[in-house]
Structure 1
Amino acid sequence: MLTSGALALAVLAVSSSGPLIAFAAAPALAVAFWRTALAAGVLTPVALFGRRAEIRHLISPAGRLTGWFCVLSGVALAAHFAAWMSSVKLTTVAAATALGATQPVWQGLIAVGQGRRLARVVWVGIGLAVAGAALATGADLGTSGPAVVGDLLAVLGGMAIAVYTALGERVRGSLTTVTYTTICYGVCALLLLAGCLAAGIPLTGFADQTWLAILALVLGAQLLGHSLFNYALHRVSATTISVLVLLEVVGAALIAWAWLGQVPRPAALPGLAMLLAGVAVVLAGGARAARRAARTADLVGRRRAV
């Protein structure tokens, strides 16, 4: 029940990301830097004073590999922000959103590469959800040179966030959410800072409303959204998480409608319905697989007892 509540709150929190980024009058990479840097700033004292044993373990030979996984996760998150937010500048927002929503496909392929077998019903649900996201956003892939580059960057953004989620699933088996997210967000912020400085992107001089939007992103999408998804990775598979993230398309549309007056296109409604159906199929398939695994484990235990 606690995990389900965390996931519901995470979806609601990340749904605010798109409207807030659209509202903030600042370069996208600068916003990405501040949201991760401020989040890391909030979490660092908690990790230093409350997770000292974990930090000591990470710098020891026994925990060094886990520490590197945290660093790589931060690299993947920075790559996602850099690729996807740059894609919006080169192609349409609709195409960038739809192509970035291919994350569950890459997540499923990563799971297969790790030796897991996904049920056919899960693949069906992934296909429905991704197709629904594409239809809901009205994906119109570009044909010009810059638009094609933007489309490719959006796909790379989807791949990068899948790697980030897979690494989080790996780390969360042995590390608490606070320690993991502190390192991940900190590494991501440093890389984004380097990118902003190299590209000459301004990091200050924004209006008060923009700073309020950035603060809302830090508290909502980052500290609540991303962190709660990372928390749930201890109990829920990365593939299921990646499909649930697609609900952000629905949530963002509703928030943009209520706050920014962006009324969803009637043609988007079938896509949103497909997306919701796909998520339901994946959740049902995952629950069925979990029950089957539990029955198998119980049967094996009984046989051993005999």
Structure 2
Amino acid sequence: MPTVPHRPPLDALTVGALALAVASVSSSVPLVAFAAASALAVAFWRTALSVAVLGPVALTRRRAELRALTVGPGRREGLYCVLALAAHFATWMPSAQLTSVAAATALGATQPVWQGLIARGQGRRLPTAVWAGIAVAVLGAVLATGADFGVSGRAFAGDLLAVVGGLFAAVYTAFGERARASISTTTYTTVCYGVCAAILLVVCLVGGVRLHGFDGATWLAILGLVAGAQLLGHSMFNYALHRVSATTVSVLILLEAPGAALIGWVWLGQLPRPLALPGLALLLAGVAVVVLGGARAGRRATPVAAPADPTPLGD
């Protein structure tokens, strides 16, 4: 039976990073739905502007890690991470403009299911309690968002893209778990965001997607995505992967669902169904089961040599 990589014990900083990440990514779908721009253009700008913030820090303080991730032994994992992240943005973000905020968030919440299957494919056996928690949490996410899956062709396309986006998010997180064993958050996110921005730029140029001329409100939405979902959300989840498994992170991301639905209701007038409260209760229960079950499995796992301790964003 394969050994599970040893992780340092969960600390208050990691818990705080996860809470901040969940709060930040909850604004993602509503902001994408609000922006008067193509979702691909929004995806390009959110990654490119993030690199503009992180790049100088990585270039001045993390040059050795940059070389290791781009030309060293870890370059294959880094490439897979980037491709999966680009595919996630290219599928899930357009879904928010084709279907409702609630449906896009709920269907993207299938990520933990894919994450569990990936872990199983890697030879790791997840406890029955973790699988049960994933099922309860996904059901709770669907109910909490009041997901109104549409029957129109446009809504169906959005629903399908959201599911595919959840799959690619799981692939990105799985490879990120491996890369983060020896690479700092700043280096990892800079490389991922940078190459992802380059890929999305090519896609936008080939597809004739407009990248400029947006109104002020749209630019503010893009800046909100950069500061919130990207720098505080994705980056803090990447930081937490050093101490928390990819499967657990994916389940915690489900807490985005009720947050996004609440923002969509208050800001965009998209009222969730009455099942939101019981759905939220199920979601929280499922998350608790996965976290506790994963912690017990981690204590029983055979540790391997501990990697060098990476530093948080900006260090």
Structure 1 length-normalised TM: 0.88
After TM superposition, give the deviation of residue 265 of structure 1 in Å: 3.1
CA contact (8 A) 1:98 1:139 kept: yes
Write the distance in 1 (CA, Å) between the matches of 2:171 and 2:195.
Answer: 15
Unaligned stretches of 5+ residues in structure 1: 298-306
CA contact (8 A) 1:127 1:278 kept: yes
RMSD in angstroms over aligned alpha carbons?
2.1
Unaligned stretches of 5+ residues in structure 2: 1-11, 304-315
Q: 1:189 aligns with which of 162, 187, 197?
A: 197
2:242 counterpart letter in structure 1: H
Write the distance in 2 (CA, Å) between the matches of 1:212 and 1:59.
Answer: 32
Match of 2:243 in 1: 235
Structure 1 residues 137 and 257: CA distance shift in structure 2, 3 A: closer
Structure 1 residues 117 and 69: CA distance shift in structure 2, 3 A: same
Structure 1 residues 254 and 146: CA distance shift in structure 2, 3 A: closer
After TM superposition, give the deviation of residue 87 of structure 1 in Å: 3.1
After TM superposition, give the deviation of residue 189 of structure 1 in Å: 0.8
Write the distance in 1 (CA, Å) between the matches of 2:15 and 2:63.
Answer: 29
Match of 1:78 in 2: 86
Match of 2:296 in 1: 288
Q: 1:123 aligns with which of 131, 138, 143?
A: 131
CA contact (8 A) 1:71 1:183 kept: no
Structure 1 residues 81 and 57: CA distance shift in structure 2, 3 A: closer
Write the distance in 2 (CA, Å) between the matches of 1:267 and 1:257.
Answer: 14
Match of 2:14 in 1: 3
Larger Rg: 1
1:24 aligns with 2:35: yes
After TM superposition, give the deviation of residue 84 of structure 1 in Å: 1.6
Q: Deviations over 1:132-173 (max 9, x none)?
A: 112223334455555544433222111100000001001000
Write the distance in 2 (CA, Å) between the matches of 1:145 and 1:216.
Answer: 30
Helix, strand or coil at the partner of 1:116: coil
Helix, strand or coil at the partner of 2:24: helix
Percent of aligned pairs sharing the same letter: 71
1:55 aligns with 2:66: yes
After TM superposition, give the deviation of residue 282 of structure 1 in Å: 0.8
1:247 aligns with 2:252: no
After TM superposition, give the deviation of residue 291 of structure 1 in Å: 3.6
Q: 2:170 aligns with which of 141, 146, 162?
A: 162
CA contact (8 A) 1:24 1:213 kept: yes
Helix, strand or coil at the partner of 1:226: helix
Runs of 4+ in 1 over 6 A off after TM superposition: none
Moved more, 214-223 or 132-141: 132-141
Structure 2 length-normalised TM: 0.86
Helix, strand or coil at the partner of 2:187: helix
Write the distance in 2 (CA, Å) between the matches of 1:255 and 1:144.
Answer: 24
Match of 2:161 in 1: 153
Higher share of residues assigned helix:
1
After TM superposition, give the deviation of residue 9 of structure 1 in Å: 0.6
After TM superposition, give the deviation of residue 100 of structure 1 in Å: 1.5
Give the paired residue count: 292
